[in-house]
Structure 1
Amino acid sequence: MYEQKTKETDNSVIEFIENVDNTKKREDAYKLLDIFTETTGYEAKMWGPSIIGFGSYHYKYATGHEGDAPLVGFSPRKAKISLYFATGDTEREALLNDLGKHTSGKACVYINKVADINVDILKALIVQSVHFLRETYPNS
């Protein structure tokens, strides 16, 4: 049976941020912690060894694969900061057009620093993602 790798843990979010080597990235992690906490109203939790997540939902795919994931989150990685939002909503793409300097993968949005992006659009992306996932997975 499939074992989900990224699970909520009891590890300290502050301890994790304090161990980020790059000073600027650590400062940005604290800024993002404030923005995500304030915008979602959820307490930050560690998911796996390196993702700071907010809220959670339970998903189940048509294939039968299911698990839990944070509604939104971020990770201050060595190369870039990864932002995690829901995929599958057309509003996400429209908001990303106005976010500022970023690149996108399948599920992640990557930024170099918070100063490169529009924080109001970031907040809108957070709200949109939480709303979309709550509608898509109402029993979470």
Structure 2
Amino acid sequence: MKKTGGDVDEFIAAVTPAKRQRDAAAMVQLMRDVTGREPELWGTIIGFGSCHYRYPTGTEGDAPIAGFAPRRQATTVYLLRTDAHAERLAQLGPHDTGVGCLYIKDLEAVDTAVLRDIVAEDYRKVMEGDTGPATLTVTD
């Protein structure tokens, strides 16, 4: 994955439906507060910071340290592993999960303090190198 260098504000202004656009603006502020970094576009993902990852299998690439994507069906928040947050996720409110994805259909329906804690914990783990089987090197 690579940074595409687009304008984040223009990207968010084009997001539909309106609820997803509202949620994207709120997520930018939440992630900016948690990471202390400015948002950058990685295609259709809004990322904060960047890192290089490498798995024991040899698979490697670049990715944001923290990020989300305002998809039509839900806002997708990218995490290291959702199962590491089981207790907090039980307190979050309505959501779905995948192995490393948290899907939120309406940010106003979830506890944003809990979401902030989840994002902050994942960010801290990356910054401290506690990333499980993958080796992550922060590149900016």
Category of TM-score, reference length = shorter chain: 0.7 to 0.9
Q: 2:101 aligns with which of 108, 132, 135?
A: 108
Deviations 1:62-85 (A, max 9, x none): 111111111111111111111111
Contact in 1 for aligned 2:82/2:98 (Cα 8 Å): no
Q: 1:99 aligns with which of 87, 92, 96?
A: 92
- Provide the rounded CA distance (Å) in 1 between the counterparts of 2:2 and 2:89: 27
Question: Structure 1 residue 97: deviation in Å?
Answer: 1.6
Number of residues of Structure 1 aligned to a counterpart in Structure 2: 133
The TM-score, its normalising length taken from structure 1, stands at 0.87
Q: Please name the residue that 1:3 is paired with.
A: none
* 4+ runs deviating over 6 angstroms: none
Contact in 1 for aligned 2:76/2:103 (Cα 8 Å): yes
The TM-score, its normalising length taken from structure 2, stands at 0.87
1:61 and 1:114, CA in 2 relative to 1: closer, same or farther beyond 3 A? same
**Quick one: higher RCO (CA 8 Å, sep 6+), 1 or 2?**
2
Q: Please name the residue that 2:48 is paired with.
A: 54
- In percent, how many aligned pairs have the same letter? 35
- Contiguous gaps of at least 5 residues in structure 1: 1-5
Contact in 2 for aligned 1:85/1:108 (Cα 8 Å): yes
- Provide the rounded CA distance (Å) in 2 between the counterparts of 1:27 and 1:125: 20
Question: Structure 1 residue 133: deviation in Å?
Answer: 1.6
Q: 2:9 aligns with which of 11, 14, 26?
A: 14
Equivalent residue letter for 2:107: V
1:21 and 1:139, CA in 2 relative to 1: closer, same or farther beyond 3 A? closer
1:60 and 1:138, CA in 2 relative to 1: closer, same or farther beyond 3 A? closer
Q: Give the match's secondary structure for 1:7.
A: coil
